[in-house]
């Protein structure tokens, strides 16, 4: 049994899907700039993945988990068009994706919430997508 847990494995799977996507590569560069620790002076646009919440999801004696994963998109373009295009690609890419999660079955993944806003007082545009992922241990 892995010591890393389903939450970490879901994050690894999501990141691998994001960096392999040609649409995101055209928007974020190749390789896709996706960070778990954002550098002091990052190159824009970029993604940050790492925030999550894990809830137990017990159903019919199955010890599943409900994992909420936040994906942050950042842009310094004028207006919101770039950050919203990035968010749209991510939503299309991950909704109902077939994630590979070690020692778990990914039951489903879907977009739970999406919001965009300006980080004050900077000019950075910020998009946050929250995905709900349900996993069950393999038997």
Task: Tell me what the pLDDT averaged over the chain comes to.
Answer: 91
Report the 10 Å Cβ neighbour count for 46: 19
> Shortest CA distance to 49 belongs to which of 74, 71, 18?
71
**Spatial distance between the Cα atoms of 54 and 66, rounded to a whole number of angstroms:** 6
CA 29 to chain centre: 17
The tokens describing 73, both together, are 């998109």
Residue 2 reports pLDDT greater than 60: no
Residue 63 reports pLDDT greater than 90: no
Count the alpha carbons within 13 Å of 48 in the hemisphere toward its beta carbon: 14
How sure is the predictor about 112, in pLDDT bands with cuts at 50, 70 and 90?
Answer: very high
Q: What's the CATH number for 5-137?
A: 3.30.2000.30
pTM for the model stands at 0.91
Q: Where are the domains of the chain?
A: 5-137
DSSP, res 91:
H
């Amino acid at each position: 049994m892995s010591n890393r847990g389903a939450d970490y494995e879901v994050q690894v799977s999501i990141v691998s899907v994001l960096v392999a996507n040609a649409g995101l590569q055209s928007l974020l560069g190749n390789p896709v700039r996706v960070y778990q620790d954002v550098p002091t002076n990052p190159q824009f646009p970029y993604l940050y993945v790492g925030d999550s919440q894990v809830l137990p999801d017990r159903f019919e004696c199955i010890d599943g988990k409900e994992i909420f994963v936040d994906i942050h998109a950042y842009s310094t373009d004028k207006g919101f068009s770039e950050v919203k295009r990035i968010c749209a690609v991510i939503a299309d890419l991950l909704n109902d994706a077939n994630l590979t999660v070690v020692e778990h079955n990914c039951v489903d993944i879907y977009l739970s919430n999406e919001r965009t806003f300006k980080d004050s007082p900077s000019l950075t545009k910020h998009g946050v997508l929250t995905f709900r992922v349900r996993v069950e241990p393999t038997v």
